Structure 1
Amino acid sequence: MPGSLSRRSLLRIGGGAVVAGAAASLTRDVLAPDAAQAATWHSQLVYPGADGRLVYKPDSRGKVIPDFSWAGYRNGQTPIPSVPVVKEIGPVTGDNTAHIQAALDEVGVMPLGANGFRGALLLKAGHYLVDGTLRMKHDGVVLRGVGKEEDTSVNTVITGTGDGTRSAVLFVGGTSGGWESQVPGTKTGITSSLVTTGQRRITLASTTNLKVGDNIIIHHPHTQEWTDAINGGGVVNDAPWTPGQPPELPIMYNRYIRKIVGNDIIICAPVFNDLRRSLSQSYVYVWDRAGLVRNVGVENLRIDMGDPSSTSEDHPQSCIFVSRVEDAWVMNAALLHFSVSGVWVQRSTRVTVQRVRAVQPRSRIIGGMRYSFCAGGMAQQVLFNDLIAFHARHAFIGTGMSTCSGNVWLNGYSKFGYNETGGHHRWSQGLLYDNIQELSNQSENDWVLALHNRGDRGEGHGWSSVNSVAWNCTVDNGKKLCVQTPPTAQNFAIGTTGIVTGHNWYTNHQTGYVEGTNRSGLAPGSLYLEQLADRLRGS
């Protein structure tokens, strides 16, 4: 694939650490062969300094590209582990839901090891019909098959049977709910007049009841002042975004405290939107983490719906649904025949989805369908890596509104899609599209990868992506990448192969930051990989 990352570099990150010693060769490895031979060039906004460390410069509006390297399992600092098998089962005749669930629950009550894992359940080669929903609800459990291809004699194939009332064949995660529940006595206001995008240091009214290692929530309430500053959200004829009316749009970040200096805290990952005190009084509190599931994985299997007709929705909606987890992965999987999503991640942090193909969706081509690799509400620090999507409506999409941020889609391609890749609605922030290709897209619109204002689409979607980056991406077939400048924020398109525009339905917006269109040799070839290597070098 033109502009794609090498298999060697993908295996190196493995959803985990890039060793510091590999940093010198990282840029060379991630360039495609034609780009590696071309004269390399660096963006004016992020480039290696004399000491080899990345240098960040603001654009003409003072906006800086943020650090996306915190996405992925354990913030990319630890490779995805190979968890030992503690139980094996094969398929039974008829519905396998209770059969597999009993085995998952058996592993789920085994002792937790010092590494946080209980063990892996191995589904041996065969065909497993599943009429219900499998639930991975225990810490430290891995569900592993033996292969993701079609031949059931040597692969693990799960077929979701039944109708379209089920949200997913496999549900990974904990109880319902968001991040609202607080440890009593820990709430304190942010006194910094401005915390800028990309910043990790925040001044508080008090740190008395906080400590290093606390899992905190940073909460920026939806206020009228903030809404006015972003021009009502960018809608045109629909009602402007309004605090106190659904959907409420707080900006929230799930973070850990790494250091405390007086009343300042330094958090694990940056914020992806300016927190301006004059527009909204933000605050932090320690989250009680009730119902959270940690250290879970799904590997080496295939999930399909039995190949229904091309427009049928009389089958489970999604293959894998991930919710309320921390430190999890879906790896080496083939996902077919979903109507809504191959992998949908929400209310979760530090997740890696890697070497997954989501193909042959089955549904009408209408709103709400065919979101192949989706980051939903409260999805943060999610890495989608090495991806294939066919016939999607929105192949690589952030649809979680103002609580969806810091997510990365790396090295993937979508073919024969019907709509755009990008943030979907209501101020998704800090999305990185890194070596993503939209190929042979059939959309009625000119743009197929977009960091822009969707205005009245979808009943007031408005600004769908802010402080987001398209890096070394490709659009073809005469289609375009659309990048626009939101009020108070910025979007960036650097090193695009194809046509870049600042116009969509609305031609009155300023074009976002554009650099190096149709110029081969961008270095680093992958922003995420270089940012990760740079952070690990400095740790």
Structure 2
Amino acid sequence: MSSFGKRAGKFFSKVARELADKAAPQQHQEQHQGQPHHPQDPQPQGNHGNSFQQPFEAPPLDDHFVEVQPPQQPTNTFTADGTLEALKLPDEHHNSIPDFSRVGYREGHVRIPVVPISVIVEPSNNDTMDDTARIQSAIDQVSAQPLEPTGEDGAAVRGAVLLKAGVYRVAGALIIHASGVVLRGEGQDEAGTIVVATGAIQRDFILVNGMLSSDMGTVEKQQALAKSKEMMPTNGYKSSKKPTTLTMSGVYVPVGETHIPVESIEGFNIGERIVIERPGSNEWINDIGMDSLPPRPDSAASVQWKKETFTFKFERTILGIDDVTSSLIIDIPMVMSLDPKYPPTKVYGLIYKNPMISDVGVENMRLVSECDPVNSEDESHGWYAVVMDNALHGWVADVTTMHFVSGIFASTWSRYITIQDCSVLDPVSKPTEGGRRYQLCLNGQMGLVKRCFTNNARHDFITLARCCGVDGNNDTGPHERWAMGTLYDNITCNTINVRQRLWKGSGQGWSGAYQVVYNCTANSSNSCFQDAPGSTNWIIGFKGGQTEQPEFAAQSTQVRAANATVEPRSLYWAQLIARVGDAQLVENRVGEAGRIYPSP
């Protein structure tokens, strides 16, 4: 997952020019030195099933599994030559910075579609009228239309519901539950479309979720669900009749790797979506100390980590299959190491158990929650402004939220969601209690936050447990229980932390691992960066002070290029251009220019 700061847009064109000639994928030519084996980056010569398409010549496979001594980079003397190769920065376990470029809507390299308008809704101009049913009826009408392909990477849409400029009052919640449906306004300023969450009901407001139905948004249903905060039904994967394989015995697969050696490649095909399931294990939990969490200061017991809740499931696509090394070549690098000292990892075909919708969006409007004007800690009102769950390839764009308890949430079963050009402002809630003021929150996979702004947050840009801004009163960063593989790129905020949280919450422990903080700025002097045992974080070009007294003792993360700016200015943007291979194409499609919404 990737967070991409609001100020990053100013240097898009500059980076595009600098990297136009540096877009070729890199190759490795290391020599075999011994056990354990460590697969690196070369592409396969062999293939299985369909043909593997590669834009460059593959190096010899004899040297595919290698062990490399990483270069040593002393603190604060790091220099880079502006290339992505110099920024891989392998650690002693050969974990290196992954390629984050395949995140967001349709993997980030195509523009978010401007979906044709199908239904227009006018404001009621009645301060006492509840517009929930009118808007939901329009959404349902579009949901019944046929899907039409748009020509962009397999996208198909039905149509957009346009809420004309004016004020709408919604006492319940709005539900988007079908693929290809967009809810659009006519601007996020005071002269645009303003949708007000009315009444003293604690609920999430706009729910984009393939498992929900229209009636779940009614006032009566929301009252029955009051104080539940979120409607996120448990999802999962359906068992497949296709073969399941295990990772190869004795092979350590590091973070950043795209070659997964397996016991058998039979039954797998190029283009297939798979799940790479790393099982939880008591030994791993013991190694990182999460089975001996101390009690809280109030003597309440911490919840010790259990292996059953720390099975990590990574969704990937097979780009190639190598017969010689019995490896699956995946599109997105691993963001968690696969260590052979722990139980082997399973690989199997991806089939969702519950409905997943795609090509859905909320855009170009202002969402406002009514709240008690004399109680700054009122919580009997809208919780999250927008929640996306059980959704693939969706977006929230050009949306301002005001006075909700929290902001915009791409939840556990969201995939490839883009949140861009949004502002989450002035939350109303208890200011310091947990679970509040999570302004821009990613908890699914392959999510992208791009050019967004928050204020008065507890956590501006945040990930939650096991996850495969300015003027904050807490921090930006992974929040709890081992979030993996997140890039914080050109973020400016109050504090950035990647740290041991131990007994915090109910036993949050290690907040995250394999995190990348790149050219970010913290306005306070209290940031904290710590490495969990056996893992690495990469802190590069960080501007801001670090606390001299971490709350809990742990190994400090090495900070490279402290108080300096590293080139390329944006790691995400550079990786995207390198993958696509055409800087101007990327700039034209997803560059600095904002979206243009046509008149009806």
TM-score range, shorter chain: 0.7 to 0.9
The answer as to 2:426 corresponding to 1:360 is yes
Give distance in 2, aligned partners of 1:89 and 1:499.
Answer: 50
Aligned 1:460-499 pairs, distance under 5 A = 460-477=507-524, 479-499=525-545
The answer as to 2:194 corresponding to 1:157 is yes
Following superposition, the deviation at residue 9 of structure 1 comes to 5.1
Larger Cα Rg: Structure 1 or Structure 2?
2
Following superposition, the deviation at residue 4 of structure 1 comes to 6.3
The answer as to 2:414 corresponding to 1:335 is no
Give distance in 1, aligned partners of 2:548 and 2:312.
Answer: 26
Give distance in 2, aligned partners of 1:211 and 1:61.
Answer: 30
Following superposition, the deviation at residue 307 of structure 1 comes to 4.7
Following superposition, the deviation at residue 53 of structure 1 comes to 6.4
The answer as to 2:250 corresponding to 1:178 is no
Call closer, same or farther: CA 1:148–1:311 in 2, change over 3 Å: same
TM-score (norm 2): 0.76
1:178 aligned counterpart, secondary structure = coil
Give distance in 2, aligned partners of 1:375 and 1:78.
Answer: 21
> Structure 1 residues 452-461 or 342-351, which shifts more?
342-351
The answer as to 2:458 corresponding to 1:458 is no
Following superposition, the deviation at residue 180 of structure 1 comes to 2.8
Give distance in 2, aligned partners of 1:300 and 1:26.
Answer: 36
Q: Deviations over 1:295-327 (max 9, x none)?
A: 111110011113533211111211000101111
Residue in 2 aligned with 1:189?
246
Residue in 2 aligned with 1:243?
307
The code of the aligned residue for 1:117 comes to: V
Residue in 2 aligned with 1:300?
364
Following superposition, the deviation at residue 184 of structure 1 comes to 2.5
Give distance in 2, aligned partners of 1:44 and 1:58.
Answer: 14
Residue in 1 aligned with 2:274?
216
Following superposition, the deviation at residue 254 of structure 1 comes to 1.4
Give distance in 2, aligned partners of 1:128 and 1:95.
Answer: 8
The code of the aligned residue for 1:213 comes to: G
Give distance in 1, aligned partners of 2:19 and 2:546.
Answer: 31
Aligned 1:200-279 pairs, distance under 5 A = 200-232=258-290, 235-237=293-295, 238=302, 240-244=304-308, 248-262=309-323, 263-279=326-342
1:5 aligned counterpart, secondary structure = helix
Give distance in 2, aligned partners of 1:528 and 1:277.
Answer: 30
Q: Deviations over 1:435-483 (max 9, x none)?
A: 11124xxxxxxxx210111111011101101000111111124x23211
Following superposition, the deviation at residue 204 of structure 1 comes to 2.3
The answer as to 2:561 corresponding to 1:516 is yes
Following superposition, the deviation at residue 209 of structure 1 comes to 2.8
Residue in 1 aligned with 2:347?
284
The code of the aligned residue for 1:180 comes to: Y
Call closer, same or farther: CA 1:322–1:535 in 2, change over 3 Å: same
Which one of 480, 491, 516 corresponds to residue 436 of structure 1?
491
The code of the aligned residue for 2:397 comes to: M
The answer as to 2:160 corresponding to 1:120 is yes
The code of the aligned residue for 1:5 comes to: R
Call closer, same or farther: CA 1:21–1:536 in 2, change over 3 Å: farther
Give distance in 1, aligned partners of 2:91 and 2:350.
Answer: 35
> Structure 1 vs Structure 2: percent identity of aligned residues?
31
Q: Deviations over 1:237-276 (max 9, x none)?
A: 43532224xxx11111111222222342111211111111
Q: Which has the higher strand share?
A: 1
Q: Deviations over 1:363-384 (max 9, x none)?
A: 11211111001112xx111111
Structure 1 contact 234–463 (Cα < 8 Å) conserved: no
Call closer, same or farther: CA 1:207–1:59 in 2, change over 3 Å: closer
2:148 aligned counterpart, secondary structure = coil
**RMSD (Å) for aligned C-alpha atoms:** 2.7
Residue in 2 aligned with 1:32?
none
Give distance in 2, aligned partners of 1:162 and 1:210.
Answer: 53
Residue in 1 aligned with 2:19?
23
Give distance in 2, aligned partners of 1:8 and 1:452.
Answer: 31
Unaligned runs of 5+ in 1: 28-41, 406-412, 440-447
Structure 2 contact 199–370 (Cα < 8 Å) conserved: no
Following superposition, the deviation at residue 78 of structure 1 comes to 1.2
Q: Deviations over 1:269-303 (max 9, x none)?
A: 11111111321221022222340101111110011
Call closer, same or farther: CA 1:6–1:433 in 2, change over 3 Å: closer
Give distance in 1, aligned partners of 2:541 and 2:292.
Answer: 27
> Structure 1 residues 430-439 or 456-465, which shifts more?
430-439
The code of the aligned residue for 2:386 comes to: I
Structure 1 contact 233–426 (Cα < 8 Å) conserved: no
Give distance in 2, aligned partners of 1:47 and 1:79.
Answer: 30
Q: Deviations over 1:214-234 (max 9, x none)?
A: 222111111112212222268
The code of the aligned residue for 2:188 comes to: K
Structure 1 contact 482–501 (Cα < 8 Å) conserved: yes
Which one of 114, 138, 145 corresponds to residue 82 of structure 1?
114
Call closer, same or farther: CA 1:163–1:190 in 2, change over 3 Å: farther
Residue in 1 aligned with 2:229?
none
The code of the aligned residue for 1:169 comes to: F
The code of the aligned residue for 1:483 comes to: F
Which one of 478, 493, 507 corresponds to residue 423 of structure 1?
478
Q: Deviations over 1:103-151 (max 9, x none)?
A: 1111112121122111211111111111111111111111111000123
The code of the aligned residue for 2:358 comes to: R
Call closer, same or farther: CA 1:109–1:381 in 2, change over 3 Å: same
The code of the aligned residue for 2:502 comes to: G
Residue in 2 aligned with 1:138?
178
Give distance in 2, aligned partners of 1:103 and 1:73.
Answer: 24
Call closer, same or farther: CA 1:282–1:59 in 2, change over 3 Å: closer
Following superposition, the deviation at residue 182 of structure 1 comes to 2.4
Following superposition, the deviation at residue 344 of structure 1 comes to 4.3
Residue in 1 aligned with 2:593?
none
TM-score (norm 1): 0.84
The answer as to 2:470 corresponding to 1:414 is yes
Residue in 2 aligned with 1:346?
412
Unaligned runs of 5+ in 2: 24-75, 151-155, 212-232, 296-301, 584-600
Call closer, same or farther: CA 1:43–1:352 in 2, change over 3 Å: farther
Give distance in 2, aligned partners of 1:284 and 1:496.
Answer: 37
Give distance in 2, aligned partners of 1:429 and 1:61.
Answer: 16
For this pair of structures, how many residues does the alignment match?
485
2:422 aligned counterpart, secondary structure = strand
Instruction: With a CA cutoff of 8 Å and minimum separation of 6, indicate the structure with the bigger relative contact order.
Output: 2
Following superposition, the deviation at residue 524 of structure 1 comes to 1.1
Residue in 2 aligned with 1:31?
none
The code of the aligned residue for 2:383 comes to: Q
The code of the aligned residue for 1:136 comes to: I
Give distance in 2, aligned partners of 1:420 and 1:316.
Answer: 23
Call closer, same or farther: CA 1:78–1:174 in 2, change over 3 Å: same
